[in-house]
Structure 1
Amino acid sequence: MKTTQIVPGLLALAIAQALFAPAIARADDVAAADAAADAQNNNTTELPKINVRERGLHDDTWPKLQHIMREVDGPLITVTKKTSITKLDSIPTVVDNNNRALFAQTPGIFYSEQQSPGQMNLSYRGIGNPQESEFVTVMLDGIPLMSDWIGYPTIYTFPLPQTLSEVQLIRGGSSLLYGPEPPPVVNLVSRKPVADRELAGYTENVAGSNGLFATFNQLSGTSGAWDYLVDAHYRTSDGERDNGDSKLRGGDLHLGYRPDDAAYYTFDFHAYSLDTGDPGKLSYPQFAADAETVTTPHNELWTDRYVAILGHDRKFDADTELVAKLWYGYQDNASRSQDRPPPDSPVPTTSTLQDDQFRFGGLDARVVHHWGRGNAFTIGTTYYHSDAPFRQWTMQGLTPDRYDRDGVPRLRQERSTDYGAVFAENVFRFAGGWHFVPSVRLERENVDIDETVKPPNLTRDLVDRSVDHTVPLFGLGFGNDFGRGNETYFNVSQGWRPVRYFDIGSPFGNTAAGSINDPDPTHVLSWEAGVHGTPVDGLFYDASLFWVNVKDRIESQPAGPDAPPNNTINVNTGDTRHRGFEGQIDYDFLAARDPKTTRHLSLFANLSLLNAEFTSTRNPANLGNRPAFSPKYLARVGLSWREDKHYKLALSAVSVASQYFQDSNLPAGTAGAANYIPAKVPSYTVADFSADWWVLPQLRLLGGVSNIADRKYYSRVFSNGLEPGIGRTFYAGASYEF
């Protein structure tokens, strides 16, 4: 067990400061009253002149809230933290598997693309491999979307954009708001029921390239104290390569009950089922010769996810509110993959069937109290538990059914995680537009593995491990409002990445007894200073400098000479430093002339410049190297033209610099060899266009083209192959609402 010691006095001081600050804030009023009494005792007839100025709510200006979150957003204090939002009502409908459009106006987020839907691959500022977003916290309405929030933080399901109202990105300090994983947090906000009618409906149907057909259907409304929303969706595609076909089915249910103005009870249920082929990874020579080559014609992936959530919001008075959520869910990541061919056969004859299940639940409760002149104090707790059995079988043939269990057991692990946290945060406001935000969070994790079957080629002992970590986190932020709608912000915050199942007991590593892995958690210290605002009508800008130190990175290393090819174990590989610039600008030419216009013509651009390197490493050869997936620049630019209920058009492009795909900054294989992978992922630029056009008040035509120039590129790379990006695709369809 590794337990980080904390100083109880620091925690007590932070909470006491927040609790007793109202008394301190009243000190000036008491002093003023005493002065007036003294004046009366001295028979003074002329009282000192008092200038009373009402301080407006800095975060309630409409133009600003089109781009960033409120400074106090319910129980979340985001002031002094860099945030970005995308309101989906302001962009054309996002269709199929093109999430570039979803993040087109989100600075800094790197989206590593693949042709198959399901897995979402995000990373930020070069911290970690984008593989399945393991280094980015992704949430839906504050509930983690990962397979297992602590032990296996991968994204295999992603909500349809049609179900979302907003995408939020929160940088440094996100661990103090939401919990583990290094910053940032991507929080997806679900659409709310229609509030002014008992029944409203929406249906959308599109068809497109590669056999795409997608339908989305929704009903919602409000009647008295009740509100509801229900949707069902289906999407099928043949894919760009053989065995790249997919079928997605899903649905969502929301029920809300508001007995009075002070209380709101909710029930939400989300269901998602995906079946997709896996055409396999390519070597670079295969990609260059024919990007539609299929290397695994029988591999298959299945993902099911079901989550039920109970929520309760209660306003105790005008200043105090409780927000609580209780959730339980089940996810099954299953796959079929062909084995390597035996030495005496040119083709594989067996396959591995894998079943990775997760049963999880949690509680998150937060109280926010507004006090004084714009101050707010929030305190809360989070608990999470998951059971995650992991099983594999060796099957004869290459096409066994998903639920076939007649093969030879190859691996069986019982795994579980427990995680808990308590946290407190306060925003203090002072004269002159200054604000100060101290934060504290205490977290504890337990990860447990009990292995009963191991792969037959490994000579190690069965894994039987339980690991605990207790980690205190602190943060400080301050800023100043100046001029017309401008604000400076500075934030320094700690974060960490808990150890995962694979970190402490990789099922594929052949580690000798007595030397089993025990890596320390990864710790992150983030600094950011910037300024943003809406100084003139139509203009929003945000520019910041950042510096992130990552200590004790946990990365994959070869599992050893006795392990199967490409299998790895995870160890602390060293420390990295990430520093750079991140900027965003949006100028609405029509709003500049008339701030109340319903027509908007906006030019937007965002740019991230990154300098990242290893500052210490267990492998001397990597010292000074650029960490994998750390492009020197990531730029997006676009033009958006819309009029409410008439049309929405968007043209955008993303440009990504070249980047190394592994920390060694070396290629895989030898140049000219069949299995060669270049050291660098080449730079690429991809442009997209999409449009919604209302031909009637209720009828809308939808259309778009992705990868307009049909750019041949890739961004998802492993030592055993790469996955091509999606070529040029089209879609067209219509929607009807009532």
Structure 2
Amino acid sequence: MKSLINTILLVLVMGIMAFGQRSTITGKVTDTSKQTIVGASVVLKGTVRGVQTNTSGEYIIKGLKAGNYVAVISTVGMKSQETAVVLEENESKTLDFVLEEETYTLSDVQVTGSKGVKGNEHLAEVEGYSINASKKNEVIKLDNINANLAMNNSRQIFSRTPGISVWENDGSGVQLGVASRGLSPNRSWEFNTRMNGYDITPDPMGYPEAYYTPPMEVVDRIEIVRGASSLQYGSQFGGLMNFVLRKPDISTRFTVESQNTTGSNGLFSTFNYIGGTEGRLSYTAYYQKRMGNGWRENSRFDTDHAHLELSYAVSNKLKIGVEATYMMTEIQQAGGLTDAQFIQDSRQSVRARNWFSTPWCIPSVNAEYIFSPKTKLSLKAFSTIAERNSVGNVRAITEVDNLTAPRQVDRDFYTTIGSELRLLTDYKFLGKENTLATGLRYFRGHIDRKQQGRGTNGAGMDFDLSDGAYPRDLDFTNINQAAFFENIFRFNKKLLATLGARVENISSTMEGQFSLTNGNPTLLSPITRNRSFMIFGGGLEYHISPQTEFYSNISQAYRPVLISDLTPPATTDIIDENLQDARGYNFDFGYRGKVGNYLNFDVDYFYVNYNNRIGTITQTNAANQRYQFRTNLGRSVSQGFEGYVEFDPITAFFKKSKVGYLSVFASIAYIDAVYHDFATTSVVNGLVAEGNLAGKRVENAPRKINRFGVTYNKKGFSVTWQLSDIGKAYADASNTEAANAAATTGIIPAYTVQDLSASFKFLKHYNFKAGVNNLTDERYFTRRAGGYPGPGLMPADGRTFYVSGGVKF
């Protein structure tokens, strides 16, 4: 590793010395009225070299070899230009460009200017190294929304993305719990969660829970591709959720930014960022400190996030980069409540000694090579070195916490390494331009799980054991190898089709000590699962006009057997030797588009078929003894409609306005998620009674997820009011109506909650933000937890406020 680092540094130093002696292209980009264009892209076609214009509309590309180039200049809402450039050795050439206005089609990313709608966008048909044509997808641009970004407020961030359910029990903003289409929001584990295109969860194949979420203040956009992403990215049924961080500023040598926020319950957040580009080298770094006491009692948090990114153009064809992300958390867990306690005082806590911490480190390296304007190659290698630590009383919330008794300590240690190689190429077939995306993946994850340790009887965050070892000490290893391809066939300018496949090989092994009784260990027989399979998918896209299109896609999906599925709750339980990954498919049919820059819309019907769902039934052995048997039991189906529309009436009817612009949005979803066949057993009067969940609603799946909002903009001022209207859900698959004493089952009632956020940018470099979350101070909850961070009913935060000031130079 040391020699590798030294080699990289040597290449960087030599490159920096070399580009100082090479040629340069510089110039300015304006529109037809001679107004400077800020942020215009100036790229040398077929190379990795490119910059953006600065606040004066100027650009400079240094360190170029002598030769022939094609400069491509583009920006949103303007016609692109291509200009041939011939450079001599050590020549400095000035090229100025004047761009004309243009209407964009849906094959490009949907973005808007200062007026008109500024809501969700869509991914281009081909974006980076991925094919998105015919797929249901959204792009959430964080700059386009008013929200409490310092606290990663998911309710506001995903407000324009229809069908997204949100668990609101983590007041620290660290753990994200979202899902779509009737799937479980538990730490977003039904999504394939990534950052900058690589994995950030402990193990996507064995433990896909999202304990790490990047600070939204540094996120440029969130890319969501529904279940059809399974071909290019693998599991899960929910699709891809990719956090794309802000890239190094390629318009200036150096930029610095600071955003500082304070608010209710002792909230303090400071976010500090630097970045820039000098010749071939681009860099960025940020640090965020976030702390507060939380809305509930015993919910203090203190988190630190840091990130460093370097990118270097070794040549005009090759670019390499390194990234490193680090997070440290100290979070007090308030625990759950009973229904009676919630009604009495939802801010109270009966757990004062529960703590949670997730140190997280994610290093990665990447390389990109451009063979030609039509073919390019990308390599990403990444790793996760992380922990999940908890200490506290995790027994039923009805049991009083004995403050002198030792607490339970549970610790996970994650070590993963992975890589993905992707190739994208455009080619001609039967006279038509087609696109192929293909790639290879390797991943190895190891989890060292230590549970049920006897901790100290203190009240602080302390993960030391008071005596002995961990009764449960398990090792879980997962190796995944995959290959995929997906192709766009363009029949004419209006119609295209996509077709693809993915081959998976997954090998999972678990072994270790299950329990410790009177000093005698109970060892698990090593459990190994090896499986190989192929999934397929295809889609169609038809452009009704340059700005509207029909899309449809059907893709198979799978959810691997998780570590929890292979861990028996008791030594007498038996795991099916033939336990299979859950399999199924996603289907979408929709219509999306825009009218001018004043109306955006996307409506669709979806169908998610989820086969081989894993569950536990009671069986009787030859000795007439009952035992729990975990196996593939049944099937669920989620289907419904999703719709997003955003409209700016002032731009539509008056084109221009001196009093500002108004944008109204509605994000609505009807989700019918039910079990069609799922065998169950129970013991009644000493006998095993068989049953079936057929017709029962899937747990944690509200049928109604509606969000509405209005945004007013005038120059640098913007304010957004938002209403969330969420239907009731059940906490368990049996659809229990009345809550049990421990509050782990029962109804999760419907609720409505409002948010108000505003921002003001002034004097070019400064901003002021403020807002009120849960404007009417509603009392509600979105989750009943059966274990950590409960157990019990988990209240959402009541009314809170925040104010923030920022500066950027």
- TM-score of the pair, normalised by structure 2: 0.78
Following TM superposition, by how much is the alpha carbon of 1:246 offset from its aligned partner in structure 2, in angstroms?
A: 0.3
| Paired position in structure 2 for 1:695 | 762
Following TM superposition, by how much is the alpha carbon of 1:285 offset from its aligned partner in structure 2, in angstroms?
A: 1.1
Distance 1:400 1:481 in 2: 60
Following TM superposition, by how much is the alpha carbon of 1:631 offset from its aligned partner in structure 2, in angstroms?
A: 1.1
Q: Aligned in 2, Cα 1:461/1:251: closer, same or farther, shift over 3 Å?
A: closer
1:206-245 equivalence runs, <5 A = 206-245=261-300
Following TM superposition, by how much is the alpha carbon of 1:273 offset from its aligned partner in structure 2, in angstroms?
A: 0.8
Please, which of 436, 439, 451 is the counterpart of residue 380 of structure 1?
Answer: 439
Distance 1:707 1:515 in 2: 45
Alignment deviations for residues 223-277 of structure 1 (CA, whole Å, 9 cap, x no partner): 1100100111101010122220000101110101013332221111111111100
Q: What percentage of aligned pairs have identical amino acids?
A: 25
Please, which of 209, 228, 232 is the counterpart of residue 173 of structure 1?
Answer: 228
Distance 2:719 2:400 in 1: 55
Please, which of 661, 671, 683 is the counterpart of residue 731 of structure 2?
Answer: 661
| Paired position in structure 2 for 1:640 | 711
| Paired position in structure 2 for 1:587 | 647
- 1:113 match: secondary structure: coil
| Paired position in structure 1 for 2:700 | 629
Distance 2:210 2:107 in 1: 32
| Paired position in structure 2 for 1:543 | 603
Which moved further from structure 2: 227-236 or 527-536? 527-536
Following TM superposition, by how much is the alpha carbon of 1:404 offset from its aligned partner in structure 2, in angstroms?
A: 1.7
Distance 1:185 1:550 in 2: 17
How many residues in Structure 1 have an aligned counterpart in Structure 2? 670
- 2:416 match: secondary structure: strand
- 1:177 match: secondary structure: helix
Which moved further from structure 2: 614-623 or 91-100? 91-100
1:47-446 equivalence runs, <5 A = 58-60=106-108, 62-63=110-111, 67-92=121-146, 94-117=149-172, 118-127=174-183, 129-338=184-393, 340=395, 347=402, 349-372=405-428, 373-392=432-451, 393-399=453-459, 402-409=462-469, 410-431=471-492, 433-446=494-507
Conservation of the 8 A alpha-carbon contact between 1:694 and 1:701 = yes
Distance 2:128 2:401 in 1: 61
Following TM superposition, by how much is the alpha carbon of 1:171 offset from its aligned partner in structure 2, in angstroms?
A: 1.1
- 1:114 match: secondary structure: coil
Alignment deviations for residues 129-150 of structure 1 (CA, whole Å, 9 cap, x no partner): 3221121221111112212221
- 1:101 match: secondary structure: helix
Following TM superposition, by how much is the alpha carbon of 1:534 offset from its aligned partner in structure 2, in angstroms?
A: 1.4
Distance 1:172 1:344 in 2: 42
- 2:204 match: secondary structure: coil
Conservation of the 8 A alpha-carbon contact between 2:199 and 2:382 = no
Following TM superposition, by how much is the alpha carbon of 1:678 offset from its aligned partner in structure 2, in angstroms?
A: 6.1
Alignment deviations for residues 413-469 of structure 1 (CA, whole Å, 9 cap, x no partner): 122111111000100111251101011001111111111352549997524211112
Following TM superposition, by how much is the alpha carbon of 1:591 offset from its aligned partner in structure 2, in angstroms?
A: 4.2
Distance 2:330 2:380 in 1: 30
Q: Aligned in 2, Cα 1:390/1:601: closer, same or farther, shift over 3 Å?
A: same
Following TM superposition, by how much is the alpha carbon of 1:643 offset from its aligned partner in structure 2, in angstroms?
A: 5.2
Amino acid paired to 1:262: K
Amino acid paired to 1:653: L
Please, which of 472, 487, 492 is the counterpart of residue 554 of structure 2?
Answer: 492
- 1:501 match: secondary structure: coil
- 1:175 match: secondary structure: helix
Q: Aligned in 2, Cα 1:454/1:495: closer, same or farther, shift over 3 Å?
A: same
Conservation of the 8 A alpha-carbon contact between 1:604 and 1:637 = yes
Please, which of 521, 529, 546 is the counterpart of residue 589 of structure 2?
Answer: 529
Q: Aligned in 2, Cα 1:132/1:517: closer, same or farther, shift over 3 Å?
A: farther
Conservation of the 8 A alpha-carbon contact between 1:447 and 1:500 = no
Please, which of 470, 473, 490 is the counterpart of residue 532 of structure 2?
Answer: 470
| Aligned CA-pair RMSD | 2.8
Question: Gapped runs of 5+ residues in structure 1?
Answer: 1-54, 561-567
Distance 1:660 1:56 in 2: 44
Following TM superposition, by how much is the alpha carbon of 1:701 offset from its aligned partner in structure 2, in angstroms?
A: 1.0
Conservation of the 8 A alpha-carbon contact between 1:554 and 1:572 = yes
1:652 aligns with 2:722: yes
- 1:408 match: secondary structure: coil
Q: Aligned in 2, Cα 1:188/1:600: closer, same or farther, shift over 3 Å?
A: farther
Conservation of the 8 A alpha-carbon contact between 1:273 and 1:304 = yes
Amino acid paired to 1:510: T
Distance 2:152 2:399 in 1: 41
Amino acid paired to 2:670: L
1:578 aligns with 2:632: no
Distance 1:96 1:440 in 2: 39
Alignment deviations for residues 32-83 of structure 1 (CA, whole Å, 9 cap, x no partner): xxxxxxxxxxxxxxxxxxxxxxx99751275589610001112111100011
| Paired position in structure 2 for 1:511 | 572
Following TM superposition, by how much is the alpha carbon of 1:322 offset from its aligned partner in structure 2, in angstroms?
A: 0.8
Alignment deviations for residues 577-613 of structure 1 (CA, whole Å, 9 cap, x no partner): 1111111111133543688999753211111111121
Following TM superposition, by how much is the alpha carbon of 1:402 offset from its aligned partner in structure 2, in angstroms?
A: 3.3
| Paired position in structure 2 for 1:604 | 665
Conservation of the 8 A alpha-carbon contact between 1:446 and 1:469 = yes
Distance 1:292 1:197 in 2: 48
1:734 aligns with 2:788: no
Which moved further from structure 2: 397-406 or 687-696? 397-406
Distance 2:332 2:447 in 1: 24
Question: Gapped runs of 5+ residues in structure 2?
Answer: 1-102, 113-118, 621-627, 681-690
1:14-53 equivalence runs, <5 A = none
Which moved further from structure 2: 365-374 or 69-78? 365-374
| Paired position in structure 2 for 1:26 | none
| Paired position in structure 1 for 2:27 | none
| Paired position in structure 2 for 1:725 | 796
Q: Aligned in 2, Cα 1:248/1:518: closer, same or farther, shift over 3 Å?
A: farther
Following TM superposition, by how much is the alpha carbon of 1:406 offset from its aligned partner in structure 2, in angstroms?
A: 4.2
Q: Aligned in 2, Cα 1:295/1:573: closer, same or farther, shift over 3 Å?
A: farther
- 1:534 match: secondary structure: strand
Conservation of the 8 A alpha-carbon contact between 1:504 and 1:519 = no
Distance 1:550 1:573 in 2: 11
Distance 1:679 1:345 in 2: 22
Conservation of the 8 A alpha-carbon contact between 2:549 and 2:592 = yes
Alignment deviations for residues 545-568 of structure 1 (CA, whole Å, 9 cap, x no partner): 1111110112477999xxxxxxx9
Distance 1:594 1:249 in 2: 47
Conservation of the 8 A alpha-carbon contact between 1:91 and 1:649 = no
Amino acid paired to 2:531: H
Q: Aligned in 2, Cα 1:503/1:221: closer, same or farther, shift over 3 Å?
A: same
Conservation of the 8 A alpha-carbon contact between 2:647 and 2:665 = yes
- 2:566 match: secondary structure: helix
Distance 1:263 1:600 in 2: 44
- 1:355 match: secondary structure: strand
Following TM superposition, by how much is the alpha carbon of 1:517 offset from its aligned partner in structure 2, in angstroms?
A: 6.5
Q: Aligned in 2, Cα 1:402/1:557: closer, same or farther, shift over 3 Å?
A: farther
Conservation of the 8 A alpha-carbon contact between 1:667 and 1:676 = no
Amino acid paired to 1:713: Y
